[in-house]
Structure formats: structure tokens, C-alpha cells
Amino acid sequence: MSLVNYATREITCKIVYYGPGRSGKTTNLHYIYGQVPDERKGKMVSLATQTDRTLFFDFLPLDLGTISGFTTKFQLYTVPGQVYYQTTRKLVLQGADGVVFVADSQARQLDENIESFQDLHANLAEQGIDARAVPLVIQYNKQDLPRDLVLTPAELNDALNFRGVPEFGADALHGPGVFETLRSISELVLKRLSTPVR
Amino acid sequence: MSITTVETWVEPPLRKFVEEARTVLALLLHPSGQVVAQFGFVRAVDVMSACALAAAIHASAGELGKQLEGKAFRGLHHPGRERQLYLAEAATQRGNFIFLTVFDQESSLGLVRLYFDEFCKNLAAAAPAEARRAEPVIEESFEGELNRNLAALFGRG
Ligand SMILES: Nc1nc2c(ncn2[C@@H]2O[C@H](COP(=O)(O)OP(=O)(O)O)[C@@H](O)[C@H]2O)c(=O)[nH]1
Ligand SMILES: [Mg+2]
């Protein structure tokens, strides 16, 4: 659940970008970092190997501004996608208020996407989080690649989006879809603060 | 002395610790990386990065401890050139918290450990049993505000 500080009127939300290795999670954060003015963001922390593969996580704190009189802050995390980083993924997922699943639209990556999506649900369940209740949006990234290499959002929807959550085609390298994805997950996460939790 | 806390019951124990152990920085956070209280930081965004990293250190040290020792390590000490860092866990009936503090020549590891033990007791004693009930916090029609904020953030304002 998002952290609410009634005394200082602050809301802090943790959003995790999840998905298979090389799908573009870190690229999403880099793009966001590049767009946001300095006074509204902290340092982007990347715990990565020398070859730029995410080792533990990337982290980007954002100051979203005021909503209903509350200063609202977002903490964006990415997880390492490679299968052998299972433990790390679980740790980063702890206490997530929302999840962005970044799928790699390349046809040959379909199995990896499905496997990672199942892995997400298993890890949420293990932490006692109801996977169907947690705010989730799906991004079909790398839609800029040649048509014959990638699946369309409709095809990816059939394979992954059985819950019918908001979905966005994207090209995180150049920007299209990155903003829309963040906007959508922000809305879902904040919506939970505007309606009573049972 | 400027301490900011998310939950007010945390403040007295933390204030006492910082005064007695004379540390430069102090952070109390949830294992998920969310800040509970801080002393000594200037910018909120810096607090958030420090929390994310502290949670990561704590989690990896815990896992490493489990693999090598059969159980998680209790406390972690990192001596730097001028400043030193101490990181440990504090248990309360409201759950476990991670505590990180940074100190210089004004203090010492012995002092920090001593007052940390006391801090843990004080914190456990101060912790209220029930979490504050979650109530709707923001107005239902927050979307306009959110869109304006995000547009400004992405230079589309
Ligand atoms: N063509 C294209 N390449 C992308 C896109 N997003 C990421 N990449 C590339 O895919 C590779 C992996 O991206 P990265 O963000 O490190 O993946 P992560 O493992 O999910 O963090 C990098 O070489 C990126 O430049 C995209 O939308 N289009
Ligand atoms: Mg990465």
C-alpha cells in the first residue's frame, strides 16, 4: 500500500517495471529521466554490471507534484530480467504499489515474455499479494522494429493480457508509449487511495 | 535538529538516538525501501535513493547470511575514510524496520551499537499495535491534477 504521511501531507508510491531480460525496462527509466527537469527528480541509481545489464535494480525517484493537497512522490524500480536473478526480483517486488510489465514485442521473445509474466504472478502470490488486485499495466515495447520481427499489440494481447489490463505499444528508445504507460499506472495506483480499501 | 517522520511515534526514539549517539545521518525504513523517518538529509529525493540502496544492502546481506551462516546477519558495519556506516534491523509489533546511520569522529561504532540497542527497545515500546486504518486520501476526481502534473513533468505543459 502506498505510504501516506498525514503530518507532512505526502504520498509515496513504489512502481516496479518487470519483464524478461532485455525487454527495455531500464530504457523506460532512462527516457523518463531524460525528460524530467532536475528539480523534480533524484539521481538515477543503477546497480548494473560493466556491460550495462541490470544486476540488482535501477531506481529513479520522481516528484510528481501536488494531488489533492498531497505532495506525491513516485519511486520507479526495474528488476533484472534474467532467470537466475529470481531472488533479486522478489526483493525488488516487495511492497510494490503497482507493476508495469514491459514485454519485448519481438516474435522470438514470446516464450520469454510468457515465462516472465507467470514468474511475476508467482512472486506476487508468494508475497501474499493478490495478483489480480495489484495495479498492473502492460507495455509492448520495441514496436519500432521491422514488422516481420515483431508481433502486433493485438497478437501480444492474446498471449499475455488475459486480465484485460491497460496496454500500450511503445518504443522506449525514442519515447512513444513511455509517458502513456507511466500515466496509466500512476492513475491506477492513485485510484486505490481515492477509494476505501476493504 | 530536523527529523521528519511518516508516523509520529517514531520520532521520540529516533531523536534520542541521534542526540545520544551523535550521528550525522539516520534513516528508518521498511524492508520494501519506503522511508519511515529520516534525520540529516536535505532533499527528499536523496532520502529515497538512500532508502532504496539501504534496503538492497539489507536484503543481500540477509540472503548472503542465510547462505553462508544459515541465518541472516544481524548488523553491518562499513568503515569509510571519514564517515562510517552502520545498518541493522529493528523489530517491533508493527513489523521489522531497517535502520541505517552514518557517523564520524564525533561518535564511534561502540557508541552507535550501544544506543542502537536502546533505540530498538524504545521503538518497540513506542510502536502502536494497530496500523492506522486506510481511508480514502485523495479526491475521486484527481485525474485532471495528475494529467497536469505529468504533462509538466514531461515538458508538455
Ligand atoms: N529498437 C528498440 N530497442 C530497444 C527498445 N527498448 C530497449 N531497446 C534496446 O534493448 C536492449 C535492452 O534494453 P534494456 O533497457 O537494457 O533492457 P532491460 O533488461 O529490460 O532493462 C538495449 O540495447 C536497448 O537499447 C525499443 O523500444 N526499441
Ligand atoms: Mg535493465
Position of cell 494481447? A157
- What one-character-per-residue DSSP string does A44-111 give? PEEEE-TTS-EEEEEEEEEEEEEETTEEEEEEEEE---SGGGHHHHHHHHTT-SEEEEEEE-BGGGHH
Cα separation, B36 vs B92, in Å, equals 13
Position of cell 539521481? A43
CATH superfamily, region A3-194: P-loop containing nucleotide triphosphate hydrolases (3.40.50.300)
Q: pLDDT (tens digit, 9 = 90+) per residue, B114-153? A: 999 999 999 999 998 866 656 777 888 899 999 999 999 8
CB A90 within 8 A of CB A56: no
Query: For a substitution probing ligand 1, which of A56, A173, A181 has the most ligand atoms within 8 Å of its CB?
Result: A173
> What residue type is assigned to position A45 of the chain?
V
H helices then E strands: how many in chain A? 5, 8
- Phi/psi of residue A53, nearest 5 degrees: -80, 140
CB B54 within 8 A of CB B98: yes
Q: Do A73 and B138 touch (CB under 8 A)?
A: no
Q: How far apart are the first and last CA of chain B?
A: 38
Which pLDDT band holds residue B13 (cuts at 50, 70, 90)?
very high
Per CB-CB distance under 8 Å, the chain A contacts of B136 are 193-196
Name the nearest CA neighbour of B40 among B106, B139, B113: B106
C-alpha cell at B110: 561502540
B57 touches A at CB < 8 Å: no
> What residue type is assigned to position A151 of the chain?
L
Cα separation, A41 vs A77, in Å, equals 14
Q: pLDDT (tens digit, 9 = 90+) per residue, A120-157? A: 999 999 988 888 889 999 999 999 999 999 999 999 99
Task: Look at A159 and A48; give whichever has higher pLDDT.
Answer: A159
Q: Could you give the ipTM of this predicted complex? A: 0.81
What residues contact A79, with CB distance under 8 A and at least 6 apart?
A: A16, A17, A18, A19, A25, A54, A57, A85, A88, A89, A92, A93
B69 touches A at CB < 8 Å: no
Cα separation, B31 vs A192, in Å, equals 22
Ligand 1 center–CA A24 separation, angstroms:
4
Kindly report the nearest CA distance between residue B112 and chain A, in angstroms: 28
> What residue type is assigned to position A50 of the chain?
Q
CB B138 within 8 A of CB A193: yes
Q: Is A42 left (phi over 0), alpha (psi -120 to 50) or beta?
A: beta
Which pLDDT band holds residue B33 (cuts at 50, 70, 90)?
confident
A23 lines ligand 1 (CB under 6 A): yes
- Phi/psi of residue B98, nearest 5 degrees: -100, 135
Q: Do B52 and A62 touch (CB under 8 A)?
A: no
| Domains, chain B, ordered by start | 3-153 (3.30.450.30)
Of B49, B59, B136, the CB nearest to A91: B59
- In this prediction, residue A198 carries a pLDDT of 44
- CB atoms near residue B135 (< 10 Å): 10
Cα separation, A73 vs A53, in Å, equals 27
- In this prediction, residue A50 carries a pLDDT of 64
Query: What DSSP character marks residue B102?
Result: E
B147 touches A at CB < 8 Å: yes
Cα separation, A36 vs A44, in Å, equals 12
3-state secondary structure of B50: helix
- Give the relative orientation of helices A25-35 and A178-194 as an angle to the nearest 10 degrees: 90
Residue B91 above 50 pLDDT? yes
Query: For a substitution probing ligand 1, which of A16, A18, A22, A31 has the most ligand atoms within 8 Å of its CB?
Result: A22
Q: pLDDT (tens digit, 9 = 90+) per residue, A169-192? A: 999 999 999 999 999 999 999 999
CB A27 within 8 A of CB A172: yes
